[in-house]
Amino acid sequence: MPRLVRSRIWIVLGLLTALAAQSSGPLPYGVWRRVSETPVIAPQGSGWEAAGTFNPAVVIRGEKIVMLYRAQDKQGTSRLGYAESTDGIHFTHRDEPVLSPTEEYEKDGGVEDPRLVQFGDTYYLTYTGYNKKDAQLCLATSRDLIHWDRKGVIIPANQGNWNVKWTKSGAIVPEKIEGKYWMYFLGTNADNKDQAGLANSPDLLHWTEATQTPVLPVRPGKFDSRVAEPGPSPILTSKGIVLIYNGADDKLVYRTGIAVFDRTDPRKLLSRTDEPLFFPKKKWETVGQVPNVVFVEGLVQQRDRYLLYYGGADTYVGVAEFPIIH
């Protein structure tokens, strides 16, 4: 069988497998594949990014893809590094972090796990502030992605409607819906299950929980039985709000799924994948600071594909893609 024919057959089979994983109607996206077989960002030196460089957020600025990634030193303190690329694979780094822990809610633990969204000429960065006691969802803004103005904790720990422990992972919907801004976030309920909740805001700065229960709960016996955690800022389509999320099972193996919420009511879950679309396979995804983890946090559209940036084993940054099917 000619190589080209075999290749096309595998592409079709992969696409059918991905679509079959949907719990309801298929979405206009193809099968996921790694763009680079090796990490695009890796730990280096003996300083602020010596132990791990992982869990990236990305945005297109001009002709470049800009990445903010979590960098961890050997003492376990996290900062945010800055890198940029013209092709999405080869990145150049700034020598110093662009966000370092300075506030009481960040001291000793650091600033972790960024997500990015742009409104007008302002970038909104959600991140986890960790002080070795509590992890809390925080916000900062910038016009250049380098100089950041902290807005403080936006979803505090230990006092939510159902999220009675830590808060993390703020994925802001990139458009207003019904006159409000919306954000999916991670909370922990009383039985230590990490699940996705929903908050809204009139101004992107002040946030209020929008539901009394999680909008994306964990599911016993599935790949997301222990954790259902928002990934990057959702994609808005005619079919709904498409949220890529990170699921972990009872053994804390992290894989990736997709949930779709109603386009006019972000509270209403329409469908979610029954099987993961992406999972740890490479050695640098299965061996590291935390083994068996792929954790998607960054997403940009590049022509007829999306590029997805993810943390591998809490140590490296990788990149995958899926095509947009017209």
What is the DSSP annotation of 220-232? TTSTTSSEEEE-S
Secondary structure (3-state) at 5 = helix
Q: How confident is the model at residue 174 (pLDDT cuts 50, 70, 90)?
A: very high
What separation in angstroms does the CA of 123 have from each of 25, 56, 61, 149, 156?
Answer: 33, 15, 10, 10, 22
What was the pLDDT predicted at 324? 82
Q: How far is CA 112 from CA 27, 90, 220, 232, in A?
A: 31, 23, 28, 14
Query: Stretch 195-223: mean pLDDT, rounded?
Result: 97
* pLDDT tens sequence across 36-45: 999 999 999 9
Contacts of 220 (CB under 8 A, 6+ apart): none
- For the four alpha carbons of 210, 213, 218 and 221, in that order, the dihedral sign comes to negative
Instruction: Identify whether the C-beta of residue 63 lies closer than 8 Å to the C-beta of residue 87.
Output: no
Which region among 2-6, 184-188, 280-284 has the lowest average model confidence (pLDDT)?
2-6
Cα–Cα separations (whole angstroms), residue 63 to 265, 302, 319: 34, 11, 18
> What pLDDT score does 113 carry?
97
| Other Cβ atoms closer than 10 A to 36 | 15
At residue 251, the pLDDT reads 97
Render pLDDT for 224-253 as a digit per residue (tens, 0 to 9): 999 999 999 999 998 899 999 999 999 999
Q: Is the dihedral of CA 315, 33, 124, 272 positive or negative?
A: negative
Q: Give the model confidence (pLDDT) of 134-144 as tens digits.
A: 999 999 999 99
Per residue in 276-311, pLDDT (tens digit) is 999 999 999 999 999 999 999 999 998 889 999 999
In the numeric block, the tokens 């030193």 are attached to: 73
Of 96, 55, 60, 100, whose CA–CA distance to 77 is shortest? Answer: 100
* 277 alpha carbon, distance to own chain's centre: 15
Q: b/e per residue, 45-80, with b = 16+ CB within 10 A?
A: eeebbebbbbbbbbbeeeebbbbbbbbbbeeebbbb
pLDDT tops 90 at residue 10: no
Give the tens place of pLDDT for each residue, 53-102: 999 999 999 999 999 999 999 999 999 999 999 999 999 999 999 999 99
Report all structural domains of the chain as residue ranges with CATH numbers, in order of start: 3-323 (2.115.10.20)
pLDDT confidence of residue 304: 87
Whole-prediction pTM = 0.91
CA atoms within 13 A on the CB side of 220: 0
Query: Which pLDDT belongs to residue 325?
Result: 67
SS3 category, 154: strand
Residues of the chain above pLDDT 90, percent:
87
The two structure tokens encoding residue 151:
């807005």
Residue 192 buriedness (CB in 10 A; 0-12 / 13-18 / 19+): exposed
If pLDDT is split at 50, 70 and 90, which confidence band does 22 have? Answer: very low
Work out whether strand 240-248 and strand 254-261 pair parallel, antiparallel, or are unpaired. Answer: antiparallel
In the chain, which ranges are continuous DSSP H helix? 3-20, 283-286
CA 124 to chain centre: 14
Cα–Cα nearest to 289, from 45, 69, 73, 58:
73
Question: How confident is the model at residue 239, as a pLDDT?
Answer: 86
Report the mean per-residue pLDDT for the chain. Answer: 91
* Residue, of 223 and 25, whose pLDDT is higher: 223
At residue 11 the predicted structure's pLDDT band, cuts being 50, 70 and 90, is very low
Give the model's confidence band at 326: pLDDT under 50 very low, under 70 low, under 90 confident, else very high.
Answer: low
